Chain A
């Protein structure tokens, strides 16, 4: 008897990969699916369920279904993909220094003088001295955003 192709294994693996890629390319853009990546985990969980069901077919009913070898390989790969994602989300992205010495609410913000993209010197004081184009008045506040940059 011709054994049936074991699609669940392939669907499961594909969903794990799609889930992994969906995070950087889509879900990370929206805070609601970024901070807690539930949507990505949901896709991966469905993928793993497909895989498990495919593997049960392959090993439980080998006369009916193919997929012992492909299922084993794709199963390991899927677990690796999911594991890599968990590593990134639960460990790698949290490796930031503590910044205990950063200015706290109520403290004076340290003055600085740096160059802008036109190589003009800009200090905290000079920012408050200049007019803001949107309001034609000096700013009420400055929102300082430190970021990693290209490097």
Chain B
């Protein structure tokens, strides 16, 4: 986490949780990165990550997706896992982050 920031990369998490829920999560888990609230799944739809009715009570949620965006707004690295259990490993991502100018 700290290593990512030292490389000049800001970590931003996005979910359909409300700002209050995310704030609780932030406090409980001691998170320092930005958490954005996408209640109506606007950004989630733009990134085609909607997992409709997959949440509790049939709520729409985001499927996992990770994007490294450079300062020109261009995507430099993407991870769209096909398995909920399998997530990106930090070394794969850090290698890409080091190449950013």
Contact = CB atoms under 8 A, between A and B. Distances in A.
A46 to B, nearest CB: 22
A146 to B, nearest CB: 4
A140 B69 contact: no
Contact of A114 (B14, B74, B81, B87): B14
A102 B80 contact: yes
Contacts, number: 216
A146 B14 contact: yes
A49 to B, nearest CB: 26
A137 interface: yes
Interface SS of chain B: mixed
Contacts of B48: 99-102
Interface of B: 2, 4-17, 19, 21-23, 25-26, 34-38, 42-44, 46-52, 54-57, 59, 61-71, 73-78, 80-87, 89, 93, 97, 100-101
